[in-house]
Chains A and B, each alone.
Chain A
Amino acid sequence: NAGVTQTPKFQVLKTGQSMTLQCAQDMNHNSMYWYRQDPGMGLRLIYYSASEGTTDKGEVPNGYNVSRLNKREFSLRLESAAPSQTSVYFCASSEVERGAALQETQYFGPGTRLLVL
C-alpha cells in the first residue's frame, strides 16, 4: 500500500515549456487534490476532483489544467510554464466518512519540486 505517489520528484523547466505532473493513489479514495506550497503562503488549492470524471477550480487555477484519468490518477498540466509557477506541488486524496459528523482526512503525496527558469 503505497498511499499517494507523485512523479517526478524534481523538475527544471524553461519558461514556455510544458509538463505534466502525475499523481496516483491506491486507497480507493474518491476525492483528489492538487496544491502548491510557497514560502510563507501555506498550501493553496489549485484544482480538485470530488469523484472520477469531475474537476473543479480551487483558489489558484490560472495557468494549470487537470485530468482525472480514472479513480486512481489525477494529473496536473502546465501548458506554458512561467517563473511564478516555481513551487512545490503536492497531490492529496481523501474519503468522506459520513457518520455522526462529516469526517474527511487528506493524505498527501511526497511532492514535486518545480523550478521554472
Chain B
Amino acid sequence: QKEVEQNSGPLSVPEGAIASLNCTYSDRVSQSFFWYRQYSGKSPELIMSIYSNGDKEDGRFTAQLNKASQYVSLLIRDSQPSDSATYLCAVNGRNYGQNFVFGPGTRLSVLP
C-alpha cells in the first residue's frame, strides 16, 4: 500500500512571499506526481503534474521532483490571498496496476 504524506498545516505566509509545500511518498515505483488545489467546499482542481526529476515551472507555480529521495514539492511565488486553499499531493504508478493515491493535504493561508 502506497502512502503519501504531507504536513497538514495550516501553513501561513504573508502576501507576496513564497509558499513551499512538501510531499513524500513511500512507493518507489510511482511514476506520475500531481498537485491539486481544493477550495473549501469545492472539488480538487489540477495545478501541476510532473513526471521527471527536476523542476517544472508554470506561471507562479514550480513543482520539484526528486525520485531518489521520494520527494515532491510545490513552490508558489508571489503568494496571493486567493491561493489560500488545501493543496493535495497525488502519486500514480499505473504501469504496475496501481492507482492514484492522495495525501491528506496541506492547508495554506496567505495573509493580506
Chain A residues near B (Cβ < 8 Å)? 33, 35, 40-45, 48, 58-59, 90, 96, 101-111
Contact = CB atoms under 8 A, between A and B. Distances in A.
A104 B32 CA distance: 8
Contacts of B8: 40
A108 B99 contact: no
Given A104-B92, A104-B94, A110 B42 contact: yes
30 contacts: A33-B99, A33-B100, A40-B8, A40-B104, A41-B104, A42-B4, A42-B88, A42-B103, A42-B105, A43-B88, A43-B102, A48-B99, A58-B99, A59-B1, A96-B94, A103-B32, A103-B51, A104-B32, A104-B92, A104-B94, A105-B46, A105-B49, A106-B90, A106-B100, A107-B46, A108-B44, A110-B42, A110-B43, A111-B42, A111-B43
Interface residues of B, number: 26
A104 to B, nearest CB: 6
Among B8, B102, B104, B105, the most chain A Cβ lie within 10 Å of the Cβ of: B102
A55 to B, nearest CB: 13
B43 A42 contact: no
Given A90-B43, A96-B94, A103-B49, A42 B32 contact: no
Interface of B: 1, 4, 8, 31-32, 34, 42-46, 49, 51-52, 88, 90, 92, 94-95, 99-105
